[in-house]
Structure 1
Amino acid sequence: MTGFRGIRWLRELLARRKEDVVQTAAEEADQTQALIGSSESPKQAKSPLGLLRNYKWPIVQTVSILGLTAAMVIGGNRYVEAHMVEVYHVLVDGTDIGIVDNKSVVEQYVQKKREDTTNQYPNVHMELVLGGITYQTERAFNKQTDNNAVLAAIDEKAKLQAYGVELRIDGQLFGLVKDEATAADILNKIKEPFLPKGKEAGQVQALAAAAPKPKEGELESADFVQQVQLKEIPIQPEELMNPDDVLKKLQTGDTQPTTYIVQKGDCVSCIAKKFGISKQFIYEKNPWINDDRIKVGDKLDLTVLKRPLSVKTEETVVENQEVAYDTEYVKDDSLRAGVIQPISPGKNGLKKVTFHITKVDGMMVSEEITGEEMIEPPVTAKAKKGTKVVLGEGTGKFAWPVLSASISSTYGMRWGRLHKGIDITGNKTILAADNGKVVETGYKDDYGNYIIINHQNGYETLYGHLSSITTSEGKIVEKGEKIGVMGSTGDSTGVHLHFEIHKNGSLENPLKYLNR
């Protein structure tokens, strides 16, 4: 007998022994009293001391039992305390499923189950779905636990659920992939081809007939034109799509190949207008075209990608451009007007021009000059200049052909080909940029209504897309004289002036001569 049962037994034994001693003592006392009152001699009666001797051992036994009882009570309490344990009731969604000796048993088991699930389904986002697991702590004597039974109960309640991420564009579902990381990888691959590959800043571009490289700048932002939504939802594993298929679908849409056979009278700009596409698109799809030369029977790829997702980029481009030097003339009436004799040479300067460029799917949609900074001022040349008047001879220093001018597109590679001049908006009156002689007027598909002025000093200027021409061939015009009205004729994307400068037959960047 141990613990509380042993203690109870000792208490009962002590109580019975005490009753026996008391009863025996009472009986002896009665007998002694009877002897005293009887005829027997007092000597025959037992004295108290005798009684004590008679009950010495019962008393000693009783005291010993009391001591043993106390010792056992104390020992029993210590035993009980030593066998008290802390256990944990495990509840799933509030239901008690059993008792474990340590919470970590459940936590480690659940973690292992999740890891096993991930390893078992590497291509699907599978989740081990369990109700909310909570614990109630209990401190009890020799409480029985059963870890295995609890873990088995958790196994019965656990369920596997597959999840996927919807990729929607403007609300329309375009893909269902494993997770957000997979969706983000697809979206990054859509953006990547349209991000700038580097900066051309700090490099002086060729300013003669050689075509400059397309501007590549510092990316400010790259966003999708359409609204992209990603949302995780429960799915069936077989509903997942191959990420490569989703990428291809976003890159090409539902495009069908389109081939066009060049007909008699066709030109690149004519075909572009017929199909409602840009010349740049035709050049990019058909890089074999050189100088717009196409002939009857040529096959053109006009397949237009109907991209469901377009990338809009904002870039800052910084370029170094030459600044033409001025010439200071010393008049000499002994020389015929137009005859120049150098005194000291000049030197071109250098300026830093900052552009803000917006593109959609790599196609430039807007370009704005946001700043100009002179790096190295030009050095003015000096020369003698004859004063014998020759009508129509230019000064060599150009004025803006439009008042309140704003540049909408600069000189360089545009729409897959060299943009030979600059596009200017502002006051619609077109002015001669310098003195000269009108040598050509007319209409061309590329330029619309145009004017060419020969300044009789090696320079020519061209003015295109005019709505009307107010001068005529052979006329001598002065700098600032009205020659036409701004328009949008020919291959034009809006009302503006296309302005070119040619020097000795070679193209020049107009911004080399026009400064703010």
Structure 2
Amino acid sequence: MTGFRGIRWVKALFKGLTTKRESLTELNSDKQKSSTMTTTTLTAINQHKWRLLYGASALTLVGAIVLSGNQYVASNMVEGYHVKLYDQEIGVVSSQQLIEEYKSSRPLEIQEQNPDVHMELNTDGVSTEPEVAYMLETDDAGVIAKLNELLVPQALGVELRVDEKVVAVVKDQAAADQILQQIRDPFTPKEKVTGKVNALSAANAGMTDIGSAPSELEKVDFVEKVETEEVPIDPDVLEDPKAVVKRLQTGGMQPTKYKVVEGDCVSCIAQKFGTSTKFIHENNPGIEDDKLKIGQEIDLTVLKPVISVKTLERVVQNHEIQFDTEYIQDDSLRVGIIQPVSAGKNGMKKVTIQVTKVNGQLLSEELVSEDLIEAPVVAKARRGTKVVLGEGTGKFSWPVISPNISSTFGQRWGRLHKGIDITGNKNIQSADNGKVVETGYKSDYGNYIIIDHMNGYETLYGHLSKIISSKGDIVEKGEKIGVMGSTGDSTGVHLHFEIHKKGSLENPLKYLSR
């Protein structure tokens, strides 16, 4: 605009000068009418020179003014960036880098201001468009302030759900993972035991608990459906991870204690509080042989974990294999009289058992395999053949057809499991020849039978639904003596089977092979 105004002013100036010069020329022409033709010619030449001079000067001046105007405009052209939040114009800033730095630093600044909560600031909608314009005005501070006003941070947390029910809200996924790991840890074997087996024999079987034996973890999982999801939250709902772990492990139950009074017994207390003797022994491992003292405090707290941990573990143990005896019949000796010829030796087998636990408590066990380590050496002896009814062979057969072992021999919940539990065909057979010396009912065994094999061995058959044999009966190996059941202290239909040798407990797996 300024350049064009200068050109018009210069044109007007030279137009005035030309008009004035023409007037002076006409005046001189009147005074010099008598002059010669030569003078007139010279005057015309001079007038032409003046016009050329004026024109050149005007063009020079116009060029200078135009150049000056362009330089002024160019020096006032400004580069800026229009900032938009989605389609909304926020303002103009002087630098695109300013906005890029804002988008990367503002979320960090918000998080630093709220260290106890996971904050999110979505800056994806902020964009810039460049523009170069005359005297363009920018406002960096104003645009940043407006963005701070419009971009509202959102607190995020992680919901912990159990069977699709929200049980806790914590800061982030790391906190949720840590909580779940702390719930798993108490029930997860700390070390993988490979190649190391626990020797189990008559001498140490009573000291070995299958539930606490060294094991190799195969799988760990939760019984319930456990999920986590990040969601927008109100920061006030966040919980302390330690409190969440305790609540999920206990179900928020308060401790229940009971002091023993005169006349109390374990089963009496169990009946009074509607629980089981097994539960009392599990909660109070210090109770031995059901002995209680007046004033003794018993823990009857029933924990109801919100999340239960299920583990599948593999236990490997070495079991002795009882050697057989090869008898040389001698009719000069009365039945029952045995004269050793050569000594036998027990063998050894590696037994692999798959154990399922829930919250560290033995839920079930399954015999997976048996591998021979050392074969037993057969003993030889002379045996009288004078018949004595009921004498056993010394070699036992399975008392159940198609047997499956549901619980092995050893410690359970601080107590000795004196035999093995077997499922399968419900007909119970005598494991060897013998004489029925006792039948009846006991609170722990339920309906039971004891057979004396008249060679130092006795077998016991428990939890029967029906007893077929009677005291004094002579039974043969494989003869039906009862029917499998779930009487007494039993958690399902099975046979509890024990072997005693000269009054001492033996591990039945020492005498039985799959």
* Other structure's SS at 2:428 match: strand
Equivalent position SS for 1:152: helix
Contact 1:99 1:150 in 2 (8 A): yes
Moved more, 310-319 or 107-116: 107-116
Q: For residue 34 of structure 1, what is the aligned residue in structure 2?
A: none
* Aligned residues with identical type, % of pairs: 44
The CA deviation at 1:208 is 1.7
C-alpha contact 2:329 2:382 (8 A) present in aligned 1: yes
Distance in 1 (alpha carbons) for counterparts of 2:393 and 2:334: 15
Task: Single out whichever of 441-450 and 47-56 deviates more from structure 2.
Answer: 47-56
Q: Cα 1:420–1:251, aligned 2, differ >3 Å: closer, same or farther?
A: same
Aligned equivalent of 2:70, options 76, 91, 98: 76
- Contact 1:129 1:158 (8 Å CA) reproduced: yes
What secondary structure, in the 3-state scheme, does the structure 2 residue paired with 1:205 have?
strand
Q: Deviations over 1:87-130 (max 9, x none)?
A: 22223454323211223324444655544443444334455688
Q: SS in structure 2 opposite 1:288?
A: coil
2:326 alignment partner, SS class: strand
CA distance in 2, matches of 1:281, 1:151: 66
Match status 1:91 vs 2:84: yes
| Local SS of the residue matching 2:182 | helix
What do the CA deviations read for 1:247-284 (whole angstroms, capped 9, x no partner)? Answer: 333333233514264675x7545654664534332113
Q: Which residue of structure 1 lines up, in the alignment, with residue 198 of structure 2?
A: 204
Contact 1:335 1:387 in 2 (8 A): yes
The worse-fitting range, judged by mean Cα deviation, of 495-504 and 214-223 is 214-223
Contact 1:286 1:300 in 2 (8 A): no
Aligned with 1:384 (options 378, 381, 393): 381
Aligned equivalents of 1:255, 1:228: Cα separation in 2: 24
Give TM-score, length-normalised by structure 2: 0.81
Say yes or no: does 1:61 pair with 2:57.
Answer: yes
CA contact (8 A) 1:91 1:134 kept: yes
Aligned counterpart, 1:182: 175
The question of whether the paired residues in 1 share the 8 Å contact of 2:436 and 2:451 is answered with yes
Letter of the 1:244 partner, please give it.
K
Give the letter aligned to residue 185 of structure 1: Q
Q: Trace 1:194-273 onto structure 2 (pairs within 5 A).
A: 194-199=187-192, 202-209=196-203, 210-213=206-209, 214-228=212-226, 230=228, 237-252=235-250, 253-255=252-254, 257-259=256-258, 261=260, 264=263, 268=266, 271-272=269-270
Which residue of 1 is the match for residue 31 of structure 2? none
Cα separation, partners in 2 of 1:310 and 1:498, compared to 1, 3 Å: farther
Counterpart residue number, 2:328 = 331
CA contact 1:195–1:313 (8 Å) conserved in 2 = no
Checking the alignment, whether the CA contact within 8 Å between 2:162 and 2:307 is kept in structure 1 is no
- Residue 362 of structure 1 corresponds to 360
How far the C-alpha of 1:425 sits from its partner, in A, is 0.9
Structure 1 Cα separation of the partners of residues 437 and 158 of structure 2: 66
Greater displacement, 40-49 / 145-154: 40-49
- What does the per-residue CA deviation read over 1:402-421, in whole Å, with 9 as the maximum and x for residues that have no partner? 00111111222223322121
For 2:450, the equivalent position in structure 1 comes to: 452
Distance 2:513 2:321 in 1: 10
- Deviation sequence 1:370-410 (CA, Å, 0-9, x none): x2141524133241332414433333322111001111112
Structure 2 counterpart SS, 1:341? strand
Cα 1:222/1:85, change in 2 over 3 Å: farther
Change (3 A) 1:136 1:475: same
Between 1:466-475 and 1:328-337, the stretch displaced more is 328-337
- 1:145 corresponds in structure 2 to 138
Instruction: Summarize the Cα distance change of 1:132–1:64 in structure 2 as closer, same or farther, 3 Å threshold.
Output: closer
Deviation at 1:22, TM superposition (A): 9.6
- How far apart are the structure 1 equivalents of 2:76 and 2:452? 113
Partners of 1:428 and 1:486 within 8 A in 2: yes
Cα distance, 1:165 vs structure 2? 4.5
Query: Any conservation in 2 of the 1:325–1:378 contact (CA below 8 Å)?
Result: no
| Aligned-pair CA distance for 1:167 | 4.3
1:134 pairs with 2:132:
no
Moved more, 464-473 or 503-512: 503-512
Offset at residue 212 of structure 1 (A): 0.6
**CA spacing shift, 1:342–1:349, aligned 2, 3 Å:** farther
- Label 1:48 to 1:305 Cα distance change in 2 as closer, same or farther (>3 A): farther
Q: Which residue is equivalent to 2:512?
A: 514
Q: Match for residue 283 of structure 2?
A: 285
1:341, 1:69 → 2: CA distance?
A: 138
Q: Deviations over 1:195-232 (max 9, x none)?
A: 22345662233322532132343334433334445555
**Alpha-carbon spacing, 1:322–1:170, altered in 2? closer, same or farther (3 Å):** closer
Amino acid at match of 1:502: H
Q: What amino acid does structure 1 have at the position aligned with 2:321?
A: A
Report if the CA contact (8 A) 1:321-1:512 is conserved: no
In structure 1, the partner of 2:352 is 353
- Cα 1:39–1:109 change in 2 (3 A) is closer
Per-residue Cα deviation, 1:33-91 (whole angstroms, up to 9, x for no partner): xxxxx997478435997776554534543564577578x38x937x8667655422223
1:190/1:54 CA distance change after superposition, 3 Å = closer
- Taking only aligned residues, the RMSD between alpha carbons, in angstroms, comes to 4.1
Deviation for aligned residue 1:452: 1.8
Contact 1:269 1:491 in 2 (8 A): no
- Which of residues 406, 416, 421 is equivalent to 1:418? 416
The equivalent of 1:193 in structure 2 is 186
Structure 2 residues without counterparts, runs of 5 or longer: 28-33
Cα distance, 1:485 vs. partner? 0.8
Name the counterpart of 1:495: 493
Q: 1:503 to 1:8 in 2, by over 3 A?
A: farther
Q: Deviations over 1:282-324 (max 9, x none)?
A: 11322232123347x5656252334241313131213132241
Q: For 1:312, give the aligned amino acid.
A: V
Distance 1:236 1:43, change over 3 A: closer
For these two proteins, the number of residue pairs brought into alignment is: 504
Q: 1:418 to 1:304 in 2, by over 3 A?
A: same
Counterpart CA distance in 2 for 1:163 and 1:341 is: 82
Report the CA distance between 1:496 and its aligned residue. Answer: 0.5
Q: Does the aligned pair in 2 maintain the 1:465–1:486 contact within 8 Å? A: yes
Between 252-261 and 442-451, the greater mean CA deviation after superposition? 252-261
Per the alignment, do residues 262 and 476 of structure 1 end up closer, same or farther by CA in structure 2, a change over 3 Å counting?
farther
Query: Relative to structure 2, which stretch is displaced further, 104-113 or 147-156?
Result: 104-113
What does residue 35 of structure 1 align with? none
User: Given the two structures, how large is their TM-score scaled by the length of structure 1?
Assistant: 0.81
Paired with 2:97 and 2:42, the residues of 1 have a C-alpha distance of: 75
Shift of 1:155: 3.8
Measured at CA, do residues 404 and 500 of structure 1 come closer, stay the same or move farther in structure 2, by a change above 3 Å? same
